[in-house]
Each structure stands twice: as structure tokens, then as C-alpha cells.
Structure 1
Amino acid sequence: MTENDIVGLARKACSHLEARYQDGQAGITPPRPLDYHPLIDMFAEDGVFKVPCPPGTPVFGGEFRGKDAIKKLFLEDDPDLIEGLVVEKPLEYFCNGDRVVVLTSYAYTIKKTGAIAKGKDIALVLDFADGRISVATEIQDLSEWADAYSQND
């Protein structure tokens, strides 16, 4: 596969973020629901999704192994954790071999506490093998998560 092919796969995997950015630019409120299926479908069966975060950050932080765990995260857990996801910047794609780094910025509300996370620059590192995502690593400042989930209930 060429780097253009790999970037095309990354664009397909990130179509939910592209759509959310476009909705924001068009002033569509509320935005269309996030469709995580293209991203999930791009993962290999033994794919890994990682979110490095402060130690002890429950729920979203850590490592999710296998397509079923990734599917559960995005389709069952994630909708209960945040609301109002806004993609603040257009997605940028940088490719080197079978790795694509996607850069953008988010804003969202953490449902548990109502904390608003704005201007969250993120890097999504996608490693591909045989046309599938083998490892995806989302890098962002998750201090709001650590604060929200370290509070006593």
C-alpha cells in the first residue's frame, strides 16, 4: 500500500470526527450522532486502543485489547461518559510508512461532574498492518478525567 492509501484508511477511520467538525462549521445543532462504526470496523480483531493518562484514571484511560473491548468502549461506555463533543480544528493527517498521526482539538463535557474540557489538542496515532488498525493511541491531556474520577461519590 502507498502512503496515500494508508492516509485514506485513516480518513475513513476518523470519519466520525470529520463529520462532527463539518457539523460545527455548518452550525448544525445539535450535531449528528457520532458514528463510531467505521473506526471500529478498521481495527484488526486483535487491535489495541490505548489512552495514556494519569495513573488511576478509571473508565476511559488505559489499554483496550481486541475488537470486542474497543467496540464496548465506543458504543457502550463512551456515550455515558461525555456529551457535547465538538471537534474544534480540522483534522490533519501525517503519514510515515504504515503509521498515520492525526491532529485536531476537542471540547466536551464530562457527564459525571459537568466539567468542561476545551481546547484539548489531541494526537491520534494509528498503526496499520494489512489494511487494518493494529494499534491506535490517543494522546491528550486527561487531567479533567483524573479530577472527575478521583472525587469521592
Structure 2
Amino acid sequence: MSKKKPSNDNSRIAENRKARHEYSIEETFEAGVVLQGWEVKSLRAGKGGIADSYVIIKGGEAWLLGAQITPLLSASTHIHPEQGRTRKLLLNKKELRRLIGAVERKGYTIVALNMYWKNSFVKINIGVAKGKKLHDKRQTEKEKDWQREKQRLMSLKR
């Protein structure tokens, strides 16, 4: 009897690409997401997005706002799905205290970075972030261009 390991080929559900451009990420955390049944089915069908989502701390708990999960057409008739509802994040007390401390500092926010499957659970990476100024974004773009140029030059030498 061999135990079959789940493949990690399609483990990523959604990614917030804009977050790393708009913010400098100081620290990241992994959190579980509390979902309803129709949301899990929609995520398995690839109908989720976290492009403009962020996290707030309210009442000592973390909540995900702005994540869009589009309901399937075959959703149950007795459930009225809300595509952009607020979802609770599962973190331990130590992580919550660190997040609360970071948010209370000036200029810090918590953004969602990516959502993925871990075994049969939906997990989300969140990051404590500080907004970048325009000149910081330009510097990041210059560094990316230089790295790309270096790779191109190295491939030409071979």
C-alpha cells in the first residue's frame, strides 16, 4: 500500500502581484481562512481573486476584506452567496499580537500576498507592509531592469 502525495502543481489559487510593487513587505505570516462550502467549490474551480484585498484587526481577530470569490452557477438555491464578504483569518495569539503591534505603528498595513491550497485547506500569506514612495518604486524598477539586462548579457556570452 503506497500513500499517494497530493501534487503541488495547482496549489496556488490567487496572487496579489500589485502588493510587492506598491508596498515593501517587512514580515509575512501564514493564516487559515474560514470559508463556506460554496466558496471552497468556487476556489477549486479557479474563481477566486485577492487583487485589492487587505487585512484589518477588529476585536482581537484578523479579517480579510476585498477578496473576491465568484459563486458558481450551480450554487444551492437556499444560499445567497456574497462574493466580497468579510472572511475571518485563523492565526494564533502570538501572531495576532505581532500584527496588532505592527498596525499601530505609523504607516504600516497588512496586505494579502497569495492564496493557496495546503493539503485540503485554504491558506493565505499576509504581509506587514509599508507603502512605497514614488522614488522607491522607480528604484525597484531600475533594479529589475538591470537584473533582466544582466541575464540577457550572460545568455549572449554562452
Give the TM-score normalised by structure 1: 0.28
Q: Which has the higher contact order (CA 8 A, sep 6+)?
A: 2
Larger radius of gyration: 2
TM-score, normalised relative to structure 2:
0.28
